[in-house]
Structure 1
């Protein structure tokens, strides 16, 4: 990958759809050269062509893939850890170990691998920024969601710990905690069951991927001395992970 002239580089994981794709577009609009990483590299390539970015294959659950991805990016100022997701909605007694393992590998270890790979580049930029998309699930718990809320809590602890560990270094650290966002998230959670996924958003106006991307871009474009530690955003009609007003 060739450095993008005078444009700072922003790296976005999970960039093939949803919040990641929207974030890539918004950051490009704010003047960044965006490197898009995801397993569905062909979808990243389409977006990269649209915004003048770079698409690279990335599987955050594979350490070798993360190393190759990072090696292909010579410099970076912003890292958006967006890759993640949920699988299943069963009580602890019926929990599927494979679903839990996938959630921990993707949300927690994936974030760890990518962050470790890019911290030296962010530090070298002199004005780095780690932005991690967690969830309001990282702030609370709900019945049948222990696998996802557990993974998001762990991911959040990883991210929040960085705030202290990087104190005094030229790297900002921001956590984005979205509530209900209508993307492919619920379809993935319910193994492609579009009808069941649609019911999650029934009777409510959820956030859009663009809403979250706009918030991420706002955080990334604050003056260097301003660190937005944590931003929680939810639809007006949602109070928590378990309370929402539906028409």
Structure 2
């Protein structure tokens, strides 16, 4: 396997790296906020349509990325339900922008946070929450001061997996944000471009870098989930 040395100050490498970290970081924050909120609702309350909502939240995990990209086009594309409104009202276009890449990565990474957070929250003993209620804590304070701290390891592990998944996102990002060097080209898209150009050495190097980062994250996640005692 051919490997080439990369000048880490070269914009051809530095720009995709910085963009990848920015997209993955923002996507992780977004998926953590939405995923933990959805996990808490489904873990603590029973209501009609709960199983359907759980299936919808899990769907991006099993659906082909290109199908997710198509759904995003329907919603945030220039003629989409939300995209057209944003364009006409605020002059905002999400297509072929790094913000669109963040939305695509958030949707793809969201189920990893959701499933991990829900499992962690369901593992929190209800006796602790009931004791907190008797002390006068409201539901929001209960979540912040009792449920979330007790489930924090599962939430963090989900966030780490979401970051790794967002770093490697390709299909939905390509459909929504395109592959514009210096603007929307992440490391995964840079690998695609290198392969298309026949630059196997650069592609191998980029793949190796991404693989090492993902392995480190997976090892850290496994360590985090090990029993404390």
Give the structure-1-normalised TM-score.
0.28
- More strand, by proportion: 1
Q: Greater relative contact order: 1 or 2 (C-alpha under 8 angstroms, separation 6 or more)?
A: 2
Query: Whose radius of gyration is greater, 1 or 2?
Result: 2
